[in-house]
Chains A and B, each alone.
Chain A
Amino acid sequence: MQMCDASSPSLTSSSCSAFAEACTVNLLIAEDSHGDRMILAALLRRLGHQVYEASDGLEAVAMFVKLEPDIVLMDALMPTMSGMDAARRIKALAGTRFVPVIFITSLASEREQAGCLEAGGDDFLLKPYSRVILEAKISAYSRMLNLHRSVMQQRDQIRTQNEQMLSEQRLARRVFDNVAHTGCLDASNIRYHASPLSIFNGDVLFAAERPGGGTLIFMGDFTGHGLPAAIGAMPVAEVFYGMAAKGFGAADLLTEINQKLRNILPVGMFCCGALFEADGKQGSIRVWNGGLPDGWLVRVNGERVAIPSMHLPLGVQPPERFDVTMELFPAATGDYVVLMTDGFPESCDAQGERFGEDSVRQVLEGLDAGDHPFDALMARLQAFTGHPDPADDMTLCCLEVGIGGGVTDVAESTPESALSGSGSWHCVYEVRDRALADFNPLPLLLHICMEVPGLRRKSGDVYTILSELYSNALEHGVLKLSSEWKKTAEGFSLYYEERMRRLSDTQGHYVRFTLDHEPRVEAGRLRIRCEDSGQGFERQENTMGARAASVHEYAGRGMGILKRLAKEVSICGSGNCIEIVYDWEFPAQGATSQ
């Protein structure tokens, strides 16, 4: 159809009628009376329209298919297919295209008129023809056609844009998945629900095994929806997986994520998030919650501990004011930790009623022994919303403490760097005074060791050895703490209170690492010597409460781990120095160092 201005949908239909003579409409007349047809055609041509003529219903349908007229004027009574049959055919052929069919009739009964409309006719035109009425009707339908056409154009445009958006989201999702792989989310002790497109609702969920054992889980909920919400997720994923693999702890990750988001996100955009760290050995968990709904510790003994948000969301505070203090809880095998984004309590039922955090509490309080909190929560939510599928913007994650997972050497799958580092080196690194309180030397030391080609595959072993040596030197050697305390609930808090207190006064103390590496054929030997400023074994017996317990604790457990990993473990000096010899080989040579 040729419109006044077909290229400009913004031109309103009223301006079209104001210049009616400029609007050419293509009309098909179907009328068996030759004289009547001549009159109607002449009238319409004088109004400036293009007119096609058919003398019966069959011809009208054929011409409709061939010429695609905008409006059809049709006599109801015609030989060879009545006007009504032809109207039905034409409407069916037009499909979603709007083609007004106007019946031409001399005075007929109401029943006959109604029959015309039932056949899909849109209007009547009575004989004798009135030029004024004819002109008014054609221009009214012309306006309607304009309107319909622009609506259809917009619909097509919206559909195209929506398809384009979905395909872009799928592509973006693929890129995102390459950066933010699921990590160890598929471990047997982790259960979670996250929509495949949740990233475009701003929800993220990452999990990683730490090199020396233990699990890190990050759940985030960015403000906003769509691409803006998804963009911030990329750097968070990189920081999370990158730093977790290098042995950084939860506090370092949080600091880095906060700073990165604060730099890249515009004002008013941030990320509510929780970072959860399960220590594989210590029987403790740490959680930092900044803006997410209450997390929960569901203990095997029936106790329920809420883990409320204690911090502003990530990306809000400047680095100097950002608080990485984590809630610390003793945890036992079979305890569960539950984290969720606000999409979970905010899920609505058919009446628009919200699920609510109280319902979460009720579900967790009503758990029987053996019930999995994840299943119970999902089942209750499903019953509440009445929908089998949860909304896209809710994420729920539940980790069972102490089972499955375990120490997996993530670095086994870490691709080798294209740059090969040195195989023969010596280094001494000493952490002293205040740095003992607020600096973690392990990522740096691990990084140095990982420069050796081939040794990177053993980052789990190396990290475990380094962290075992360092925590022993710091906690038992320098701070003179006894792990015996951690065996009772009171002792557990006392231990960490004392640790915090004693860390504030480390003047004159040090922990010194001396590392040597020498290459061998398709293998290597790493020597690590760790020395602290503490008093060693013998003298330790005189110190407060620690006594021999710490020595036994150390010798009993820590020594066991070291002996399992290393070729040689020797204690030197007054017991304040331990030396390790760690041999490794390329796996292609058969036996590994273990």
Chain B
Amino acid sequence: MNDIPRLDEEALAELQDVMEDEFGVLIETYLADSRTRISGLKEAADTGDAERLRKAAHSLKGSCINIGVPKLGNLCFELEVLGSEGRLEGAERLLTAVEQEFEEVARELENFNQ
């Protein structure tokens, strides 16, 4: 899992080209969206709502791979699988990993945006 890069710099460069002046706004939007979704993930795990966990993880996964953040996307996919299988035991450990990875992503994206 460690061989998956944190940022897909090629994808991000392409997005920068597409979004032009809006790229900064996009990064801010992604980060804000993701924070909301991560707290949604935690709520789902706390309440033991496997279906909600699956959906939220699926959505976050989509956003991550779209914007060029494959490693976080992959962690979300693992959470999605847990949700769809109804196994919430391992969810807490994965959620912690998601939160840590997100903080790293946020820091690096801010840098990239400079």
Contact = CB atoms under 8 A, between A and B. Distances in A.
Interface of A: 32-36, 38-39, 42-43, 46, 77, 105-108, 127-129, 131
A46 B18 contact: yes
B15 A39 contact: yes
Contacts of A42: 18-19, 22
Given A106-B58, A106-B65, A127-B65, A35 B30 contact: yes
Contacts of B30: 35
Q: Report the interface size class on chain B.
A: 20 to 34
Interface string B59-95: 1011101111000000001000000000000000000
Pick the 10 closest A-B CB pairs, nearest first: A106-B62, A35-B30, A127-B62, A35-B29, A128-B66, A127-B66, A128-B65, A33-B63, A34-B29, A42-B18
Given A77-B55, A128-B11, A128-B68, A36 B62 contact: yes
B44 to A, nearest CB: 14
Nearest to B37: A33
Contacts of B22: 38, 42
Interface string B1-27: 000000000010011001100100110
Contact of B63 (A36, A105, A107, A108): A36
A38 B19 contact: yes
A46 B22 CA distance: 13
B15 to A, nearest CB: 7
B110 interface: no
A72 B23 CA distance: 25
Contact of B26 (A39, A105, A106, A129): A39
Nearest to A38: B26
A42 B17 CA distance: 10
Nearest to B56: A77
A35 B33 contact: yes
Given A33-B59, A131-B18, 20 more contacts: A33-B33, A33-B62, A34-B29, A35-B26, A35-B63, A35-B66, A38-B19, A38-B22, A38-B25, A38-B26, A39-B18, A39-B19, A39-B26, A39-B66, A39-B67, A42-B19, A106-B65, A106-B66, A127-B65, A128-B11
Contacts of A105: 62
A156 to B, nearest CB: 40
A491 to B, nearest CB: 107
Nearest to B32: A34
Contacts of B68: 128
Contacts of A129: 66
B113 to A, nearest CB: 14
Interface string B29-56: 1100100000000000000000000010
A78 to B, nearest CB: 9
Nearest to A32: B59
A38 B29 contact: yes
A500 B28 CA distance: 115
A128 B18 CA distance: 14
A412 to B, nearest CB: 90
A108 B55 CA distance: 11
Nearest to B77: A107
